[in-house]
Chain A
Amino acid sequence: MTGKPTPTPNADTSPFWEACNEDRLIVQTCRSCGHVQFYPRALCVKCESRDLNWRDAKPEGTVHSCTVVHRAPTPAFKEDAPYVLALIDLDDGFRMMMNVINCPPESVAIGMPVRIVFEDREGQKLPQAEPSANA
């Protein structure tokens, strides 16, 4: 038990989290207008259609922005600090928040290519980023 928050899947998001547990990154797309959206919702925020679909996303992206968190928000993250919080632009055209792991925090920079790996957190796998160079 780490005490860190784990996601509680709901009707919008359970396909996403189930795929994570199979080490797959999927993304919601609109059948009507083709919009790719993250996070998953009950409607397309571009065209208002409710005809949505899931597809596999390429598990690669780029750091859009990043910060080294020195002061953890809650006791559960204290041990990890300093850690990198980042917004990752996935190659398939959507943005997610992740930690950039498996590298020195100060080595992470905007524009850095990353690949998605999955961290097991109390039975739910979470997408995380690590430098593509690690591969």
Chain B
Amino acid sequence: MSQTAIISGVHNTKVGEVPGSTCMSLHTEAALGALEDAGLKLSDIDGVICAYALSENYPMLSSAFCEYVGAEPNFNAGLHGGGATGAMMVMQAAALVKSGTCRHVLCVTGDNRLTGMTRDKAVAALTEFGHPQFEQPYGISIPAAYALVAQRYLHETGATLEHLAALSVSHRAHAAMHPDAHMTKPITMDDVANARVISSPLRLLDCCLISDGGAALVVSAGDTRADLKKRPVTVLGAGQGHTHEHIVAAPSLIDFGCRTASARAFAAAGVKTDDIDVAEIYDSFTITLLIELESIGFFEKGTAGEAALNGELTHGGRLPCNTHGGLLSFGHSGAAGGMFHVVEAVRQLRGEADTRQVADAELAFVHGDGGILSAHCSLILGRA
């Protein structure tokens, strides 16, 4: 029988303002937490994948992390897929254990973007965003790029700002049920509508947070499950889709690589959208999630917003989504942002999500996207 890939341990640090944290302290805390959750030691790890950080300069962050914790794995690599990185790490690690290259792969992310960025570093990071010749001279920003997507989406589908706002409100309510979340104060539809405009039609509460935080997980070979502390979660399918990096070069403003990525993941797992019990889908902006829900096939084009308004995306609804509060309210710490979605999916499948628990969750869908809906990776995870 061929080897399966399982997620054997997960952990997230406290998210939000974490005074005194550094990129490396968040990596270490997240990694040790995931190992403890799995019942493994650092010496069991033979593969390490890290991402990147803005708050500290590590040209080879994964090597720096291994050096710091004293790990000498037989596979070590950095992965840069923006918000898709977390899901991509799982896909890559799954391939490593399935091929027999590794037994236990530690995937680690973390950044203290809230307290660790000097003004100069923050401005420099913003200045670098966009195509240097064909976007930057026009004053592009990340919210403005997503606003271009939002404006076109609203124009073509007739969706409303209320639809976007419903997502902000439900995400905040979910975050209030998570002990580690960044923003837990309830918000109303009026709060969203009255927040200041960042780039029309997107207002402040349509945008993700900037947080300190870290998250890590261990992907293990399926035949190690007897050595593990907890019931593992199986990686049933994974897929990627890539169409562009810069929004000026995107083939469409309302349909993206999430369609291909999810189709590949569903095909690999042999399941359909209707089979999914809980979904953790990238939500850098409210519009990101709305478009992905439709491109992935959970809802018909132009109907996800109405579903959000009707409570279909929360507990008891058709597709409980971002049960931890997502990037909008749980928090966003660089590559860890997308990893939080994976961690939450695993907890849901293990039945460890306390008051956030989706009853009888057996099959979870996770999706990350990086850039401006540019790089996509989908995962189907199941109770082992």
- Assuming A68-B197, A70-B198, A70-B200, is B133 touching A9 (CB within 8 A)? yes
Q: A13-B133, A39-B131, A74-B123 are in contact. Are A66 and B151 (CB under 8 A)?
A: yes
Main secondary structure of the interface of A (DSSP, over half): mixed
Q: Which of A5, A10, A67, A72 is packed against the most chain B CB atoms within 10 Å?
A: A67
Chain B positions 187-209 with a Cβ under 8 Å from a chain A Cβ: 196-202
Binary interface encoding of chain A residues 66-86 relative to chain B, with 1 for a CB under 8 A from any of its CBs, else 0: 111111111111001001011
Q: How far is the CB of B1 from chain A (nearest CB, A)?
A: 41
Which among A5, A17, A121 has the highest number of chain B CB atoms within 10 Å? Answer: A5
Contact B137 A6 (CB under 8 A): yes
Per-position binary interface string of chain B over residues 113-153, scored 1 when its CB falls under 8 Å from any chain A CB and 0 otherwise: 00000000001001101011111111111111001111110
CA distance A64 to B251 in the complex (A): 12
Q: Please indicate the chain B residues that have their CB under 8 angstroms from the CB of A8 in the complex.
A: 132-133
A110–B123 contact, CB under 8 A? no
Question: Given known contacts A65-B148, A68-B199, A110-B152, is B139 in contact with A83 (CB within 8 Å)?
Answer: yes
* B139: contacting residue among A6, A7, A9, A85, CB under 8 A: A85
Number of interface residues of B (CB under 8 A): 36
**Which size bracket describes the interface of A in this complex?**
35 or more
Whether the Cβ atoms of A80 and B139 lie closer than 8 Å is: yes
Q: B41 — which chain A residues lie within 8 A by C-beta?
A: none
- The reply on B268 being an interface residue by CB < 8 A is no
A50 to chain B, nearest CB (A): 19
* Complex partner residue of A71 from B132, B134, B143, CB under 8 angstroms: B143
The contact string, 1 if C-beta is below 8 Å from chain B, for chain A 14-37, is 000100000000000000000000
Cβ of B359 to closest chain A Cβ, rounded Å: 41
B contact residues vs A (CB 8 Å cutoff): 123, 126-127, 129, 131-144, 147-152, 155, 196-202, 247-249, 253
List 16 contacting pairs A-B, 8 Å CB cutoff, sorted by A. Answer: A9-B133, A10-B133, A39-B248, A67-B151, A68-B199, A68-B200, A69-B144, A70-B197, A73-B144, A74-B127, A85-B147, A85-B199, A86-B148, A95-B248, A97-B138, A98-B138
19 extra interface residue pairs, beta carbon distance < 8 Å, beyond A38-B134, A97-B140, A97-B247 = A7-B134, A17-B133, A65-B148, A65-B149, A66-B151, A67-B199, A68-B200, A69-B147, A69-B199, A70-B200, A72-B139, A73-B140, A74-B123, A85-B144, A85-B147, A85-B199, A96-B248, A97-B138, A121-B137
